[in-house]
């Protein structure tokens, strides 16, 4: 048996020749594998499996970047984006962010040159001792973020991985470590809520900027990188907390935090200040929508192209910086003033119509409702589904879940879609624009009441009948022709002929000032008959030409009725027109865009507003005197009585037929502000002038806005500044007592000379 076993052992024993043969097999396998690896690297390097990023692409990596809208006080008031990503510089990053990233994702980042071979071979050991790390370096992850499309094909993924290695080495050669970290943090995807890059993530989760992130905040965000879904602090707060504490531990292990600091930060709650960034939210939403269309038009019209001279800029992807005239603080005040008063006014409107049949009280209500239904997204969608009219009618009369706007916040409710259209039709709309009359710079722009629900901009896009706010244009022509504000006219009915059908304006008996009155009083009290008398004296064509010279772009037919504002115009144009009164007759084009820069700060476009001497400086000054009369003794007296605004202010209220539109345009030496209020359809309105006049629907918003502006000394809008007379002096008499004496003296001389 022993001999047999020995024979077997001798048989199983490997000879030296066998060992050499097996070693050769192993080495051949290793050499073959290494050769295959080298060949694959060479094939990839020679771009057999597809192109690699060029030097130009490495210098200018493609990553969708949001374009920023920047206010005059250097605040970002909005973004245009496909992916909400805004780049920051290394100096704008908190060291806590860098430390959390390096400690968690690539502890040897500062030692390798893109590929960490030591890390690749020791990754298993690292995981065994608790230092969990992925297999890719930060540079490799950056290469993947910038230049790799996701795939589930394992062979393609191997090719991509090798491409990333080569690209990582190239990145290391072209960029410093700081630049690589910055690029990575600007491109990383933080998952839901359209959050890309550290800047967007900082705003979304903590309402702060990357330079202000604390260690625990930085740890939370860096912990999300490898699993933004499972580590979401919104959807999985427990996972997020555990992951954050792991990152803090790694920061401690790598020496970025002391043991005491690590434990202190681990005890803190998540401390989220969560706010989703959305195109429908934030400041100046209507303005940003109008601005976007304007910029897109400029880029096309001016043929502004990228450095290659061929590729057009993409506002949603190319990270442009758009510098505007909007003052973020004044914009906030305007939005606050609107919300504060419109909440009250809507209450008045609802009470005013409570218990009344809209179908009986408004003859066109059914047709308005039908038009509203046909324009709705719901109707269009049902039509595309080939639904019959009867099926659509049934759908609109079937209760459904929906979200509706209220001045107390959006609410989820159940109501018939047709009733939701009635609800929207009965919602008052409002718009405000405020500008510096000297520079033309627009400081605040509120285009509507809620952009998410009512997207139509009522500042520049929409036009409405202007009513009595047009009267100063006729008086300005008269003043230019030598009329005095102290000139007296009998306030009596008048008929103007020679322009088609005879025209006789109406005047409400309760609002008519009887007897002979001055032009200043006529404008202050908004008297139609005296205004028509002046129109008959100066004629329609000069008034129309003056209106056009003041920047009104909508159609203004040369008929006598334009003196009472029967034409339509935008808040944008009307506010710009009034600015000439406050600026010595100079109309400066209302301006909201200053310049456009690319992501590197190169100026692509500079805006230069037009300037026109629209009025004689003396005429403009006299008009400020007349417009101050509106506030001192006329339809704008509420500013004095109710809001105690005693500083130099001029203005004009406007109320159109049937109280469909309420206007107030206020002028001060430093700020001109226009306000409009009305419903979407002109046939829906207040039924009484007491409630529907501009003094009640628009003036209070102006007051709320200006009181806030005056209370903030940092804005530099002062209450002790008055309109400046022209340097050449004023030859028109503004003292009506002295004017009467002059007129009396003239008459006596004329009598003696038998004139």
Tens digits of residue pLDDT in 156-170: 555 666 667 677 777
Of 676, 694, 277, 704, the residue nearest 461 (C-alpha)? 676
Cβ–Cβ under 8 Å, residues 445 and 435: no
Closest C-alpha among 727, 567, 736, 717 to residue 645: 717
User: For residue 165, what are the contacts with CB-CB under 8 A and spacing of at least 6?
Assistant: 41, 114, 115, 140
* Residue 197 CB-density burial (10 A; 0-12 exposed, 13-18 middle, 19+ buried): buried
What are the two backbone dihedrals, phi and then psi, of residue 350, each rounded to the nearest 5 degrees? -65, -45
pTM of the model: 0.81
* Residue-level pLDDT at 755: 37
pLDDT along the chain (755 residues), means of 10: 50 69 72 63 56 52 80 92 81 94 88 70 51 68 67 57 70 84 86 82 91 95 89 90 94 94 94 78 91 95 92 91 97 98 97 94 94 92 92 94 91 94 96 98 97 94 97 97 94 95 93 95 97 97 98 97 97 98 97 95 95 97 98 97 97 96 98 98 95 97 98 96 93 83 56 42
**Reduced to 3 states, what is the DSSP secondary structure of residue 66?**
coil
720 exposed, middle or buried (CB, 10 Å; 0-12, 13-18, 19+)?
exposed
Helices (H) and strands (E) in the chain, counts: 30, 18
Intra-chain end-to-end CA distance of the chain, in Å: 162
Q: How buried is residue 294: exposed, middle or buried, by Cβ count under 10 Å (0-12/13-18/19+)?
A: middle
SS3 state at 387: coil
pLDDT at residue 7, rounded to an integer: 52
Bridge partners of 568?
A: 465
Residue entry with tokens 């002295």: 738
Q: Tell me what pLDDT residue 436 has.
A: 98
Using DSSP bridges, classify how beta strands 650-655 and 611-613 pair: parallel, antiparallel or unpaired.
unpaired
Q: Contact 428/679 with Cβ under 8 angstroms?
A: yes
Distance (Å, whole) CA 472 – CA 661: 18
Question: CA-to-CA distance for 444 and 360, rounded, in angstroms?
Answer: 40
Structure tokens at 313: 């800029």
Answer whether 297's CB lies under 8 Å from 460's CB: no
Ramachandran angles phi, psi of 681, nearest 5°: -105, 135
b/e map of 80-102 (b: 16 or more CB within 10 Å)?
A: bbebbbbbbeeeebbebbbbbbb
Q: Which residues pair with 517 in a beta bridge?
A: 489
Q: Is beta strand 411-415 parallel, antiparallel or unpaired with respect to 428-435? A: unpaired
Q: Rounded to whole angstroms, how far apart are CA atoms 311 and 598? A: 14
**231, 221 Cβ separation under 8 angstroms:** no
**Contact status, residue 734 vs residue 625, Cβ threshold 8 Å:** yes
Tokens 């060949």 belong to which residue?
39
**DSSP alpha helix (H) spans, 302-388:** 328-353, 358-361, 365-375, 377-384
Buried b (16+ CB within 10 A) or exposed e, 537-564: ebebebbbebbebbbbeeebeebbbbbb
d(CA 506, CA 528): 7
- Residue 347, C-beta contacts closer than 8 angstroms, at least 6 positions apart: none
Query: Can you tell me the distance from the alpha carbon of 619 to that of 67, in angstroms, rounded to the nearest whole number?
Result: 44
Q: Are 420 and 375 in contact (CB under 8 A)?
A: no
Instruction: Please name every residue paired with 442 in a beta bridge, in sequence order, or none if there are none.
Output: 435
Task: Provide the pLDDT for residue 416.
Answer: 95
Which residue is it, tokens 């959305």? 278
- Give 229's Cβ-side CA count (13 Å radius): 0
d(CA 612, CA 594): 19
């Amino acid at each position: 048996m022993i001999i047999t076993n020995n024979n077997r052992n001798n048989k199983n024993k490997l000879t030296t020749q066998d060992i050499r043969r097996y070693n050769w097999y192993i080495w051949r396998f290793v050499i073959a594998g290494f050769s295959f690896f080298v060949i694959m690297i060479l094939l990839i390097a020679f771009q057999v499996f597809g192109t690699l990023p060029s030097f130009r692409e490495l210098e200018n990596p493609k990553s969708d970047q949001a374009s920023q809208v920047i206010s005059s006080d250097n605040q970002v008031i909005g973004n245009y984006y496909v992916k909400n990503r805004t780049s920051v510089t290394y100096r704008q990053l908190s060291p806590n962010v860098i430390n959390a990233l390096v400690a968690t994702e690539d502890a040897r980042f500062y030692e390798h040159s893109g590929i960490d071979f030591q890390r690749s071979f020791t990754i298993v050991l690292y995981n065994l001792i608790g230092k969990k790390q992925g297999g890719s370096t930060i540079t490799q992850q950056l290469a993947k973020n910038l230049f790799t499309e996701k795939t589930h094909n394992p062979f393609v993924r191997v090719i991509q991985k090798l491409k990333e290695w080569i690209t990582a080495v190239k990145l290391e050669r072209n960029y410093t470590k700081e630049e690589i970290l910055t690029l990575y943090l600007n491109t990383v995807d933080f998952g839901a809520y359209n959050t890309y890059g550290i800047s967007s993530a900082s705003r979304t989760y903590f309402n702060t900027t990357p330079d202000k992130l604390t260690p625990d905040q930085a740890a939370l965000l860096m912990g999300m990188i490898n699993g933004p879904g499972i580590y979401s602090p919104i959807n999985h707060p427990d996972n997020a907390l555990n992951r954050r504490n792991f990152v803090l531990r790694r920061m401690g292990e790598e020496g970025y935090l002391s043991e005491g600091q690590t434990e202190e930060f681990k005890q803190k709650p998540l401390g989220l200040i969560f706010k989703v960034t959305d195109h429908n939210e934030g400041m100046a939403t209507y303005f940003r929508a109008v601005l976007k269309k304007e910029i897109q038009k400029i880029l096309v019209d001016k043929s502004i192209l990228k450095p290659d001279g061929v590729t057009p800029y993409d506002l949603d992807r190319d990270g442009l910086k758009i510098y505007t005239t909007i003052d973020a603080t004044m914009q906030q005040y305007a939005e606050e003033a609107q919300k504060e008063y419109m909440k009250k006014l809507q209450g008045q409107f609802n009470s005013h119509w409570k218990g009344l049949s809209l179908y009986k009280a408004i003859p066109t209500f059914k047709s308005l409702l039908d038009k509203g239904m046909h324009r709705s997204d719901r109707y269009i969608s049902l039509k595309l589904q080939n639904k019959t009219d009867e099926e659509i009618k049934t759908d609109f009369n079937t209760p459904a879940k929906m979200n509706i706007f209220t001045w107390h916040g959006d609410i989820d409710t159940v109501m018939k879609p047709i009733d939701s259209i009635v609800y929207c039709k009965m919602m008052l709309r409002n718009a405000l624009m405020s500008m510096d009359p000297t520079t033309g710079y627009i400081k605040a722009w509120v285009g509507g009441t809620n952009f998410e629900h009512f997207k139509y901009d009522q500042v520049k896009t929409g036009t409405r009948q202007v009513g009595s706010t047009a009267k100063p244009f006729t008086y300005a022509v008269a003043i230019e022709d030598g009329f005095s504000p102290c000139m007296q006219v009998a306030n009596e009915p008048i008929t103007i002929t020679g322009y088609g059908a005879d025209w006789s304006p109406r005047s409400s008996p309760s609002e008519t000032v009887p007897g002979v009155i001055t032009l200043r009083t006529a404008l202050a009290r908004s008297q139609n008959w005296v205004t028509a008398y002046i129109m008959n004296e100066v004629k329609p064509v000069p008034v129309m030409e003056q209106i056009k010279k003041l920047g009104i772009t909508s159609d203004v037919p040369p008929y006598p009725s334009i003196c009472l504002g029967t034409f339509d115009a935008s808040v944008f144009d009307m506010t710009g027109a009034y600015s000439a009164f406050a600026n010595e007759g100079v109309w400066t084009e209302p301006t909201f865009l200053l310049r456009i820069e690319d992501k590197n700060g190169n100026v692509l476009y500079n805006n230069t507003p037009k300037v026109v001497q629209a009025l004689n400086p003396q005429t403009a000054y006299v008009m400020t005197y007349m417009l101050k009369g509106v506030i001192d003794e006329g339809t704008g007296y509420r500013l004095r009585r109710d809001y105690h605004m005693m500083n130099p202010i001029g203005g004009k209220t406007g109320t159109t037929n049937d109280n469909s539109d309420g206007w107030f345009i206020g002028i001060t030496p430093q700020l001109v502000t226009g306000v409009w209020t009305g419903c979407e359809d002109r046939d829906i309105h207040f039924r009484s002038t007491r409630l529907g006049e501009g003094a009640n629907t628009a003036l209070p918003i102006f007051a709320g806005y200006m009181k806030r502006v005056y209370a903030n000394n940092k804005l530099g809008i002062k209450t002790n500044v008055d309109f400046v007379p022209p340097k050449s002096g004023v030859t028109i008499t503004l003292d009506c007592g002295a004017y009467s004496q002059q007129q009396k003296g003239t008459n006596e001389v004329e009598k003696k000379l038998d004139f």
